[in-house]
Amino acid sequence: MTISNGAFDQLDASNLPEPVIVLNAASDEAASGAEHVTTPVAYDAILLASFGGPEGQDDVIPFLRNVTRGRGIPEERLEEVAHHYRAFGGVSPINDQNRELKAALEAELERRGVDLPVIWGNRNWTPYMRDALTEANQRGFTKLIAIGTSAYSSFSSCRQYREDYAIALEETGLGDTIKIDKVRQFFDHPGFVQPFIDGVKQGLLDVAAQGISPEETHILFATHSIPSSDAERSGPASRGFGPDGAYAAQHLAVAEVVMSEAAGVEKWSLVYQSRSGPPSMPWLEPDINDSIVELAGQGIKAVVIVPLGFVSDHMEVKWDLDTEAMETSEENGIFAVRVPTPGVHAAYVTGLVDLVLERRDGVPVADRPAMTDLGPWYDVCRPGCCENVRAGFKPALAGVLP
């Protein structure tokens, strides 16, 4: 088995166009044994990789065009989503959150005496990934470890970031100069899960303060819906996770961990939000709003909404949960609390630094924290991981060749 930083890991590449680039081929797989773990690398900077968002009304449409290029999102959906951004002055909260996260990471790195600068680059808005790589090159950095602001396995949250790195290396012509690895998907890392546990405990106190009993309370774990075809292909092709793939399995496993900590309430479910795409295309269900209506019919009086799929309070949280799901709850006579996202919670920031250090210093799989049986996840994505049959083939980094 060869690991190739720049090679593509599409299983059936025979009828696809030649990969545009093959980068940094032949980084070697772990001497440490387990397929999850790679040999340590003396990284010289952290690449904070995120989604990006508009910073004013004039940015909204160009941003949405960037996000949806070639993705078959109907025009009506774009108008609908533009309206969400317009209601917030055309400014997505995501950029300020990444500025805060970058500052918090820098402070934590300094506190621990780790000399790794953080460079920030986005998929869909400035600073773009190519800007980040140009900056890294100017500052003389050649070995980057990427943290994507996304915890789970799916095309949008895993593979697309790996494609972003490959595209940006191609755009900047830095493919022979800069090597990019990524930290493992961290859905079950205690740094990511702890803030949700804290939040659910507080949410249940808020519910109790309303005089609503545990029997009348339901915990809704909310995440981004994705096309069923993406869900099916999330995670490595070789592991069976059921029809909704690693994406749903990971969320369910983390929700179980949170439930085991939030004693007193029994009822919970995993629900989806922010569906787009044409109605004819199946996406993961049920939608959170449909679930709230149904729960009201079953006599539920309170819901605790846990934004389990999200690392920070960006637009999908502010609009789809804090605006829409709150409205649905109110209309149906349900008291609703929304739990905070990890944001810059100390456990989360510390956890992200730990994830970098386990790669730099070489921590064996047995010593890597993971709160579910599914993890710790792979350092290098396995063959077929998080493929996307809708968007067609693109090269991606940090994957293993079949």
Ligand X SMILES: CC1=C(CCC(=O)O)c2cc3nc(cc4[nH]c(cc5[nH]c(cc1n2)c(C)c5CCC(=O)O)c(CCC(=O)O)c4C)C(CCC(=O)O)=C3C
The binding site for Fe(2+) comprises 224, 316
Considering only residues 5, 98, 150, 328, which one is a binding residue for ligand X as defined by CB under 6 A?
Answer: 150
By beta carbon distance, the residue nearest ligand X is: 276
Nearest-approach distance from CB 112 to ligand X, in angstroms: 26
Q: Answer yes or no whether residue 77 interacts with ligand X by CB under 6 A.
A: yes
Q: Answer yes or no whether residue 13 interacts with ligand X by CB under 6 A.
A: no
8 Å CB contact between 197 and 261: yes
Distances (CA, A) of 331 to 12, 204, 325, 327, 335: 50, 21, 10, 6, 10
321 Cα distance to chain centroid: 17
Site for ligand X in 120-149 (CB under 6 A): 149
Nearest-approach distance from CB 315 to ligand X, in angstroms: 3
Considering only residues 276, 289, 291, 372, which one is a binding residue for ligand X as defined by CB under 6 A?
Answer: 276
Q: Answer yes or no whether residue 163 interacts with ligand X by CB under 6 A.
A: no
Segment interacting with ligand X, rule: CB under 6 A, options 39-47, 67-75, 108-116, 198-206 = 67-75
Nearest-approach distance from CB 359 to ligand X, in angstroms: 21
Torsion, Cα of 84, 88, 91, 95 (10° steps): -90
Segment interacting with ligand X, rule: CB under 6 A, options 198-206, 231-239, 272-280, 320-328 = 272-280
Annotated binding site for Fe-coproporphyrin III: 92, 161
Specify the residue, 159 or 179, whose C-beta has the smaller distance to ligand X.
Answer: 159
Specify the residue, 51 or 335, whose C-beta has the smaller distance to ligand X.
Answer: 51
Site for ligand X in 26-55 (CB under 6 A): 51, 53
Specify the residue, 220 or 300, whose C-beta has the smaller distance to ligand X.
Answer: 220
Nearest-approach distance from CB 58 to ligand X, in angstroms: 15
Site for ligand X in 286-345 (CB under 6 A): 309, 314-316
Q: Answer yes or no whether residue 67 interacts with ligand X by CB under 6 A.
A: yes
Cα–Cα dist 114/165, whole Å:
24
Q: Answer yes or no whether residue 81 interacts with ligand X by CB under 6 A.
A: yes
Considering only residues 154, 273, 289, 372, which one is a binding residue for ligand X as defined by CB under 6 A?
Answer: 154
Specify the residue, 3 or 396, whose C-beta has the smaller distance to ligand X.
Answer: 396
Nearest-approach distance from CB 287 to ligand X, in angstroms: 13
Nearest-approach distance from CB 60 to ligand X, in angstroms: 9
Nearest-approach distance from CB 312 to ligand X, in angstroms: 8
8 Å CB contact between 338 and 364: no
Q: Answer yes or no whether residue 156 interacts with ligand X by CB under 6 A.
A: yes
Cα–Cα dist 233/219, whole Å:
28
Considering only residues 162, 184, 224, 251, which one is a binding residue for ligand X as defined by CB under 6 A?
Answer: 224
73 Cα distance to chain centroid: 20
Nearest 5°: the CA angle 116, 120, 123 is 140
Q: Applying CB under 6 A, what is the total number of residues that bind ligand X? A: 26
Q: Answer yes or no whether residue 402 interacts with ligand X by CB under 6 A.
A: no
Region of residue 262 (phi > 0: left; psi between -120 and 50: alpha; otherwise: beta): beta
Q: Answer yes or no whether residue 157 interacts with ligand X by CB under 6 A.
A: yes
How would you label 36-70 residue by residue, b for 16+ Cβ within 10 Å and e otherwise? bbbebbebbbbbbbbbbbbbeeebbeebbebbbee
Site residues, ligand X (CB under 6 A):
51, 53, 64, 67-68, 71, 73, 77, 81, 92-94, 149-150, 154, 156-157, 224, 226, 274, 276-277, 309, 314-316
